[in-house]
């Protein structure tokens, strides 16, 4: 298994000025990753037009730690102009500009998002070919492989059959339930945590209706506070977040994942918590790694920790190390 780490996972500390760019590259190497991903608007100085001086300094940094620059992540800034979205010419020129800088900095994958649109992505294929980069669209929750826009992308990939177009699948699109840390924000005397963890596990691994789970809470000594927490944090997931991830319970799209693997050179191993026994409750990693092995996947998987969305109890470096260990253990099976 080829490991990458997205520097975005260090973003909380980086944005607070506690880590420098060199710090996060050094930590990435120490954790055992071969490659790394950078989110350009977050950490590229002068983005979208960094200076030659900055790019050379950046290249010196990652060479210093013997790291491979794998994925250069960009966005389509649809809200750039007041009162209108970007037109196609702006999406094209903006993405070409990003690809050119990614190439200069040594990246092989340029990740954009679905606002690029399939017809525009198709027009970018000659530029990706000329630059020798893989232009990929991120499949992120709440979307799934069966979402109409991603069916259009899949049709484009099939039609062009090019190594220069593809997808970055983010495991948020395959999440089965909330992480174990979803209850960390509540003081122990506010709710019956052991009971709610039992309900969380049942919600993630069974088809028991939520009405029956709620009845179970009350039958087993829970109260109305427990019911409210279950409804807001376990059953509905990230309902209040604009870009929240839905839960597919026992039905993540394994077949869709398998179909898209042939167009994937890089994926986001999104997660929110790995425990000391190398288990990740919210995503069925054993099944997805099994599919990757069956399909002879030889791309990178990036460990992408977003656990601070739920809990600040855990160190990001410790969590990244556990995720890499979990993946290696599953790959060896």
d(CA 126, CA 9): 32
Q: Which of 243, 68, 229 minimizes the C-alpha distance to 138?
A: 243
Q: Average pLDDT for residues 15-35, to the nearest whole number?
A: 96
Q: Give the angle subtended at the CA of 17 by the CAs of 81 and 10, to the nearest 5°.
A: 80
Can you give the pTM of this predicted structure?
0.93
Percent of the chain scored above 90 by pLDDT? Answer: 89
Q: Which of 130, 69, 63, 74 minimizes the C-alpha distance to 105?
A: 69
Q: Which of 102, 144, 134, 136 minimizes the C-alpha distance to 116?
A: 136
pLDDT tens profile 125-136 = 999 999 999 999
Q: What pLDDT is stored for residue 244 in this prediction?
A: 60
Orientation angle between helical segments 88-105 and 52-64, nearest 10 degrees: 50
Q: Give kind and range of the element (H or E) at residue 122.
A: helix 118-131
pLDDT tens profile 253-293 = 999 999 999 999 999 999 999 999 999 999 999 999 999 99
Q: Is 283 helix (H, G, I), strand (E, B) or coil?
A: coil
């Amino acid at each position: 298994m080829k490991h990458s780490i997205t520097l975005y996972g260090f973003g909380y500390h980086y944005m607070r000025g506690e880590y420098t760019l060199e710090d996060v590259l050094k930590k990435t190497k120490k954790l055992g990753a071969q490659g790394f991903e950078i989110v350009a608007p977050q950490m590229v100085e002068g983005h979208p037009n960094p200076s030659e001086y900055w790019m050379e300094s950046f290249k010196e940094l990652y060479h210093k730690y013997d790291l491979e620059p794998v994925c250069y992540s960009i966005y389509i800034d649809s809200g750039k102009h007041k009162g209108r979205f970007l037109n196609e010419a702006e999406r094209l020129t903006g993405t070409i500009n990003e690809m050119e800088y990614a190439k200069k900095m040594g990246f092989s994958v340029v990740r954009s998002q679905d606002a690029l649109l399939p017809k525009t992505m198709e027009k970018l294929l000659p530029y990706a070919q000329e630059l020798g980069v893989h232009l990929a669209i991120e499949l992120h929750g709440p979307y799934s492989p069966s979402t109409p826009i991603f069916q259009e992308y899949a049709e484009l990939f099939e039609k062009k059959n090019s190594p220069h177009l593809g997808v970055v699948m983010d495991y948020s699109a395959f999440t089965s339930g909330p992480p174990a840390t979803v209850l960390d924000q509540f003081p122990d005397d506010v709710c019956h945590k052991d009971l709610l963890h039992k309900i969380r596990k049942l919600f993630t691994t069974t088809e028991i209706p939520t009405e029956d789970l709620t009845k179970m809470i009350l039958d087993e000594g829970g109260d109305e506070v427990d019911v409210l927490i279950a409804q807001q944090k376990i059953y509905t997931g990230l309902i209040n977040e604009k870009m929240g991830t839905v839960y597919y319970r026992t039905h993540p799209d394994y077949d869709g994942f398998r179909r898209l693997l042939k167009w994937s050179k890089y994926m986001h191993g999104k997660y929110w918590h790995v425990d000391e026994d190398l288990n990740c409750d919210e995503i069925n990693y054993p099944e997805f790694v099994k599919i990757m092995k069956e399909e002879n996947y030889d791309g990178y998987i990036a460990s992408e920790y977003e656990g601070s969305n739920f809990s600040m109890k855990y160190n990001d470096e410790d969590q990244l190390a556990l995720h890499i260990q979990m993946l290696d253990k599953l790959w060896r099976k």
